Structure 1
Amino acid sequence: MKKLLMTLSLLVYCGLGCLAQIQIKGTIKDEKKAPLEFVNIQLRNTDSTMVAGTTSNTKGYFELNDVRTGSYRLTISYVGYQTQEIELNEISQSRDLGDLILQEDAFSLNGVSVTASAQHSKVDRKIVYPSERQAKVSANGVELLQQLMLPRLQVDPINNTIKVPGDGEVQLRINGVKVTVQEIRALRPDEIIRVEYHDNPGLRYGNAEIVLDYIVRRPETGGNFGVDIMQSPHVGWGNYSANMKINHKKSEFSANFWGGPRNFHGMYRDNIEDFNLGNGTELHRYEKGIPSRLKLMQQWLNVAYNLQDNNKYQLNITLNYSGYNRPISRYKGQLINRSDETDYVDMLDDNNNNEHTPSLDIYYQRNLKKEQTLILNVVGTYNKSFSDRIYQESQGDEMLTDIRNKVYGKKYSLIGEGIYEKKLANGNRWGAGLRHTHAFSNNDYINGHNYHTQMQQGQTYLYAEFKGKSGKLDYMAGIGGTRSFYRQEGNVDLYQYYTFNPRLTLKYAFTDRSYLRLRAAISNEMPSLGDLSAVEQEIDSLQIQRGNPNLDAYLHYSGTLDGEWSKGLFYAYLSVTYNYKPNAIMDEKFVEGDKIIQTWDNQKNWQRIAPMAQLRFGPIADILQFSFSGGLNHFISNGNHYRHHYSNWWLDASLSANWKNFSLMYQVMTNQNWFSGETLSGGENIQAIQLNYKWKDLRVGAGMFNPFTNDYKVQQENWNQYASSKKANYIQESAQMFFLTLSYNFSFGRHYNSAEKKVHNEDSGSGVMRTGK
């Protein structure tokens, strides 16, 4: 009995020893002995199985509790520093590892699992590394961008849009190649190494306000395939995409397709109009809309071949096709005299249009000795468009107004560019480039009169740029010169315009988590070929739209002061922007006989003052993250015969929650309106909620568009003294629109980092003057 009790006591003692609670702790510091916060610490078994993980606090301290006896490997990783591994053999008691020093390294994430999205700021861009959580819950590159919640960006994965407040251009690129949002949507999150967020793009990006460059891995052999479906079961609305990529040795073949059908039966508009013909004749009427139909199909196809030899050269050939077919866009209603509601006419405004745009892009990049790069790019584009508008006003069986405008358009364009870049010592860099764009348009306007226009337009742009650093001050200086010209058939004169385009950026970094930056630039803006057309088109019984072949190019002065600060889970960004456009091309209206003429002219000036702020908090417990952005757009529009002020407050808020394989996203965006000339163009006031479940390569989900509102509308106003209007466009199906999603992606083969194409050009304009109410 005594021996039995001793044996039991020995077993209990051994069991308690095996279950002893061991603590492992230490402090992470850099080479200057400064503490590093939010360093990723992982404790793994010798077979690499994950045991526990944590991050260092603001003092660099960490601790792992309740560790059992045994042998482990401690991995310490942090973006910008070399990963350190510590072998812990047969530990049986708590260990204090003391100060652990991490050495700086190049910014690479190979083999590092990041638990919180890491960022690194440069003078012209922010380098963002998605976290493991963000990549896991996202199905594609657009959803990953939404998870990153970057400053100023408004990401709508339901409608497939990426925008900034205002009318600024957002350029999307993959490994330096300019792409469409559909190609970003085709990206697998696990192949995305980082996102380079250029919020101060250099001169070679043209007038882009934001450039997003996804740096991705590329299979050396094998490839991948994926489909993405989003469909409403009760509304004619859907998004469908498919993509594939095959790699063999130095070659890569890829193809992408996206289609977006829309079929709504509840589209209508309400419109209040006031006319003053200047001779004492006035008309005040109200357009009361009747729900009618909108049907359209958008489609896009891309086929590409890429050849590269280790990092020596890269050849990329891409064939693109973009199609837009809107066979039905019908507004019906009654035009009611507000002074006598018994006095009304029936109105029909029926539009049918389509556009087809194929293009061929040939790109060659040669990496030379001594950190030099040469880039050549040629793009040819053909745009064929057709539009047919019928506008009628009737009273009973009597036709009072019957207008039909048909436009057949063809446009050809060629873009050629050469770029040279050279890396210097201490991270400095300089480069120069030459780009020429040439476009020809050939349009036929049939509206009771037959107009035939032939126009050409060109632009040559030469620039040079230098980036440098002095202590905590980063600077970027660029200088460019532009020669612009255009000519219309029948006009002997060739209009030429020369501009000087300097750009300067100064950025002072207080710490690696806070900076203050000043940006200033001068760019030029050209009139569109459509606005230059010497053509008249009737809008309704009282209004005529007329092009202006005497429009001049003009300059755009812009300046921005911005800064950011982050601490722990909190991030803040503040900015204020000022835009000034003297002689800006803006709309105007005037009376001619018994008609109102709507046209464009070089007005006195246009100005905008735009402060904004973004606050981001999270992720909390690697589960919850919030982002709130808001600001003001104040416009000053000084025309030759008018002066208007307009202010618009806006808000964009989003919430992201992730738990295990589930993810929830809720987003609210208020109207972001734009004012130019005498026209207020309204933005969308939308809400969206989506819940997804992801299992391996398959993800399913459900969501709702505008779940808590019934008043979705897009407003537009014109403040002209002779013909003012307040219009609101509605789509009834957009309220509580439920949809289902399914995404499936799989890949095969191993991966490596491919060379990055650094530039891509395109021409997406049709060159046609459009009309309508």
Structure 2
Amino acid sequence: MKRLFFMPLLAAMIAVHAQDIKEGEMLHEVTVKGSKVVQRVDGQTIYPTRQQLESSPNGYSLLSKLTLPHLRIDPVMHTITALSNLGSVQVRINDIVASKEDLLSLDMKAIQQIDYIDNPGVRYGEGIAYVINIIVKRPVSGYDIGADLTNTLTAVNGDETVYGKFNYGKSEFGVNYSLDYRNFKGSEYEETATYELESGTAYNVLRQQLEGQNKNLDQKIQLTYSLSDSNYVFQSKLSARRDIQPNRLFSRFEGYEDLSSSRTSSPVLDLYFHHDFGAHQSLTANAVGTYIKTDSHAEHNEGGSYAYDVTGKTYSLWTEAVYENRLKPFTLSLGTQYGQKYINNAYSGDADASNAMRSSMFYFFGQLKGRLGKLAYMGGLGVSSRYYRQGQWNDRFLLFRPKMTLAYPLARSLKIKYDFEVSQHVSQIALVSDVSIKQNAMETLVGNPEITPNRVTTHDLRLIYSTPRIMSELQGYWRLNANCNMEKYYRTDGHFYQTQTNADNECSFFYIQSENRWEAIPEHLSLTLYGGIYRFFNFTDTYRHTYTAFNGGASAEAYLGKWTLTAYADNGWNFMEGEHRGHQAAAWYLTASYQLKNITLSLYAQHPLCSNPLSHQTEVLSRYIHKEVSQHSRDLGNMLTFNLTWHLSSGRKYRDIQRTMNHRDTETGILQGK
């Protein structure tokens, strides 16, 4: 936050630029024609400005300019991170999950609007906290080819993508190839740990990294075909990802080395169909088959040699069918999801184990969304049945998810919104495996197949003020996790074990946060500021931990003709879960882009004026272990990255919308050490 000195500088630059514009032109430019943000019962609809679209070389760049609440969007590393502990982020194009390659090849001329759903209904399943749905028009003729080339000038890091889309009659053919590489050698890891032995004495350990490397080189290709008419769309996508070289993590400490490497290949077939029945009804069906093959090796050699290999195979099938009827008083949505998954991971070496697991999921939901006078509402119920089988463990769970959202206007620009939900949290597959992995000479990570889903109750109250130039939101949020899956440490014969359990545990937190956006000079300068106080509670039969944190950030976007300048900063995400008090590192960056006819040149400066920024920090507060861990990265310090985007299209005409898909499975179920 202390680095926000650049915001007054941007404002001064805008003022100088504005003085150079004739008075008549100035009045024309700043005329506010209507709000670019429309509040909805489940979030907001955003209509990007012409300047935002023309100055954005890809989807990540556009989303970063929108400064969506609760999210950090990195246009260089092509990541979208939720600055909270509420769940994951799902990006969609026309309501179908999109891949990184889809965002990099997004046609800005086709974008109609962006629905940012920060209160997803039961339609989106479990564990989804935020949904970004980009609505685009469907091309019916011509071609669209391009390249998005990102290369860091101060470190070995790059992401290269080339793509092409061709339309002929009712058909569209698409191909996309991407190459991703990284070789970071400037990491600095330090850990101070105190272990309380059975005798009552304290054993202190300093683990300080002398040398490190984070290296990857992988490629992905995807082929798409779609057939569409005015009332139906059929699309198929075949994609394959493979590591050209094994992903490698290496750390050298005083007297020993830690190493992990893995190579993954994964083909995915995705079939999608949507049909409109008249003006009010529609049916959508989607089926995705995924295969993942993984070969990995790991060594944790503190206190002696410890090495193991994992050969893993994962097969999964996911299907969905959704019926929607847009009636006059409300919209009715009914749907079902079904999934089957088989995991077979063979551990050899010092972690000798065979982990075979079968799981299945059946989910049904019904939802109503409408309006009663001025009162907008959304209510639904999801019911899921989950089945796990692993060795001698055989469990089936029936889970319910009721949800209700109400929104009411208190005045012309002021609205109050309340959301209530009861859901169930299901642990990652790797955490319920019966495999144990040694972390170092003193600690071992142990899976627990007896973990059961836990109930989550949330209350969300918001007061929203919105005008064409100002948007301000005050939010109060409370979440209670009863019998939640939380960390547990225990010791035996001088060794310490970390596992998870959900017996008589309670994990809850609440926060009060304000999000504010101001169009200081409409279509020329936008400013955003947010911040909140967070309070965490973690109670079990062996420990009681509380923690209070402040999380906040700010951004600015300036549009100067062909130039676009952006600035962003936040203090990370401070949180406490179980016996870990964590700090997701702060981020700050500056961006300058120059727009030519078909080429956009961008320069990104990440963590300027800092040669060795913090990338991760955590503290363990167990009664048996106290540990402070920090990691810095010289590669991320004063990081300069150059992006070149080239785009060429001809004969493009648009109609209706195009749906792209990318629901893929990435969870291998492999239990890994740090």
TM-score (norm 2): 0.91
Instruction: Report whether the alignment pairs 1:155 with 2:155.
Output: no
Q: For the residues of structure 2 that align with 1:322 and 1:637, how far apart are their CA atoms?
A: 40
Match of 2:299 in 1: 390
Match of 1:731 among 630, 633, 641: 633
Q: Classify 1:256/1:682 alpha carbon distance in 2 versus 1 (closer, same or farther; 3 Å).
A: farther
Give the number of the structure whose alpha-carbon radius of gyration is greater: 1
Instruction: Report whether the alignment pairs 1:189 with 2:91.
Output: no
Q: Classify 1:256/1:673 alpha carbon distance in 2 versus 1 (closer, same or farther; 3 Å).
A: farther
Match of 2:665 in 1: 763
Match of 1:343 in 2: none
Q: For the residues of structure 2 that align with 1:259 and 1:635, how far apart are their CA atoms?
A: 41
- Report deviation, 1:246: 0.9
- Report deviation, 1:725: 1.3
Match of 1:498 among 382, 398, 404: 398
Say which is worse superposed, 687-696 or 447-456, in terms of deviation.
Answer: 447-456
- Report deviation, 1:760: 6.4
Match of 2:353 among 451, 475, 495: 451
Match of 2:423 in 1: 523
Match of 1:677 in 2: 578
Match of 1:416 among 319, 343, 346: 319
On the 8 A contact 1:453/1:488 being kept in 2, the answer is yes
1:64-100 deviation line (CA, Å, top 9, x unaligned): xxxxxxxxxxxxxx56xxxxxxxxxxxxxxxxxxxxx
Matches for 1:653-692 after TM superposition, within 5 Å = 653-692=554-593
Q: Classify 1:51/1:281 alpha carbon distance in 2 versus 1 (closer, same or farther; 3 Å).
A: closer
- Report deviation, 1:372: 1.1
SS in 1 for 2:310: strand
Match of 1:122 in 2: 40
On the 8 A contact 1:219/1:749 being kept in 2, the answer is no
Aligned residue identity for 2:304: T
Q: Classify 1:55/1:471 alpha carbon distance in 2 versus 1 (closer, same or farther; 3 Å).
A: farther
Match of 2:285 in 1: 376
Q: For the residues of structure 2 that align with 1:658 and 1:239, how far apart are their CA atoms?
A: 26
Match of 1:201 in 2: 120
Instruction: Give the root-mean-square deviation of aligned CA atoms.
Output: 2.1
On the 8 A contact 1:308/1:755 being kept in 2, the answer is no
Match of 1:348 among 240, 257, 263: 257
Aligned residues: 645
Q: For the residues of structure 2 that align with 1:565 and 1:326, how far apart are their CA atoms?
A: 51
Q: Classify 1:411/1:512 alpha carbon distance in 2 versus 1 (closer, same or farther; 3 Å).
A: farther
On the 8 A contact 1:513/1:566 being kept in 2, the answer is yes
Q: Classify 1:512/1:376 alpha carbon distance in 2 versus 1 (closer, same or farther; 3 Å).
A: farther
Q: For the residues of structure 2 that align with 1:758 and 1:504, how far apart are their CA atoms?
A: 29
Match of 1:366 among 275, 280, 296: 275
Match of 1:250 in 2: 170
Q: For the residues of structure 2 that align with 1:618 and 1:225, how far apart are their CA atoms?
A: 34
Matches for 1:129-278 after TM superposition, within 5 Å = 129-167=47-85, 168-207=87-126, 208-278=128-198
TM-score (norm 1): 0.80
Match of 1:552 in 2: 452
Q: For the residues of structure 2 that align with 1:151 and 1:572, how far apart are their CA atoms?
A: 11
SS in 1 for 2:123: helix
Say which is worse superposed, 478-487 or 522-531, in terms of deviation.
Answer: 522-531
Q: For the residues of structure 2 that align with 1:624 and 1:406, how far apart are their CA atoms?
A: 54
On the 8 A contact 1:447/1:537 being kept in 2, the answer is no
Match of 1:646 in 2: 547
Instruction: Report whether the alignment pairs 1:53 with 2:23.
Output: no
Q: For the residues of structure 2 that align with 1:674 and 1:323, how far apart are their CA atoms?
A: 35
On the 8 A contact 1:405/1:537 being kept in 2, the answer is no
Match of 1:467 in 2: 369
- The percent identity for this pair of structures is 25
Q: For the residues of structure 2 that align with 1:621 and 1:559, how far apart are their CA atoms?
A: 35
- Report deviation, 1:552: 0.8
- Report deviation, 1:701: 2.5
Q: For the residues of structure 1 that align with 2:246 and 2:632, how far apart are their CA atoms?
A: 17
Aligned residue identity for 2:28: G
Unpaired runs of 5+ residues, structure 1, are: 1-49, 58-77, 80-116, 335-345, 394-399
On the 8 A contact 1:409/1:442 being kept in 2, the answer is yes
Q: Classify 1:467/1:620 alpha carbon distance in 2 versus 1 (closer, same or farther; 3 Å).
A: same
On the 8 A contact 1:574/1:613 being kept in 2, the answer is yes
Match of 1:748 among 645, 650, 653: 650
- Report deviation, 1:229: 1.5
Q: Classify 1:611/1:592 alpha carbon distance in 2 versus 1 (closer, same or farther; 3 Å).
A: same
Match of 2:598 among 690, 697, 701: 697
SS in 1 for 2:259: strand
On the 8 A contact 2:98/2:660 being kept in 1, the answer is no
1:388-429 deviation line (CA, Å, top 9, x unaligned): 112224xxxxxx511102222111111122211111114x21
Q: For the residues of structure 2 that align with 1:495 and 1:554, how far apart are their CA atoms?
A: 14
Match of 2:469 among 553, 557, 569: 569
Match of 2:531 in 1: 630
Aligned residue identity for 1:526: V
1:719-766 deviation line (CA, Å, top 9, x unaligned): 112122111112212111222221111111132223454986432211
Provide runs of 4+ in structure 1 moved above 6 Å: none
Instruction: Report whether the alignment pairs 1:507 with 2:407.
Output: yes
Q: For the residues of structure 1 that align with 2:315 and 2:184, how far apart are their CA atoms?
A: 34
On the 8 A contact 1:408/1:443 being kept in 2, the answer is yes
Match of 1:591 in 2: 491
Aligned residue identity for 1:402: S
Q: For the residues of structure 1 that align with 2:351 and 2:56, how far apart are their CA atoms?
A: 54
- Report deviation, 1:675: 2.2
On the 8 A contact 1:706/1:735 being kept in 2, the answer is yes
On the 8 A contact 1:376/1:418 being kept in 2, the answer is yes
Matches for 1:418-433 after TM superposition, within 5 Å = 418-426=321-329, 428-433=330-335
Q: Classify 1:514/1:163 alpha carbon distance in 2 versus 1 (closer, same or farther; 3 Å).
A: farther
On the 8 A contact 2:575/2:582 being kept in 1, the answer is yes
- Report deviation, 1:54: 5.2
Q: Classify 1:449/1:238 alpha carbon distance in 2 versus 1 (closer, same or farther; 3 Å).
A: closer
Q: Classify 1:55/1:734 alpha carbon distance in 2 versus 1 (closer, same or farther; 3 Å).
A: closer
Q: For the residues of structure 1 that align with 2:575 and 2:241, how far apart are their CA atoms?
A: 27
Aligned residue identity for 2:549: N
SS in 2 for 1:494: strand
- Report deviation, 1:449: 5.1
- Report deviation, 1:297: 2.6
Q: For the residues of structure 2 that align with 1:518 and 1:368, how far apart are their CA atoms?
A: 34
- Report deviation, 1:55: 5.8
On the 8 A contact 2:98/2:663 being kept in 1, the answer is no
On the 8 A contact 1:277/1:594 being kept in 2, the answer is yes
Q: Classify 1:496/1:510 alpha carbon distance in 2 versus 1 (closer, same or farther; 3 Å).
A: same
Unpaired runs of 5+ residues, structure 2, are: 1-24
- Report deviation, 1:569: 2.5
Q: For the residues of structure 2 that align with 1:201 and 1:752, how far apart are their CA atoms?
A: 29
Match of 1:22 in 2: none
SS in 2 for 1:425: coil
Aligned residue identity for 1:192: I
SS in 2 for 1:145: helix
Q: For the residues of structure 2 that align with 1:683 and 1:56, how far apart are their CA atoms?
A: 40
1:655-710 deviation line (CA, Å, top 9, x unaligned): 11111101111111212133221123331212211211111111113232111223
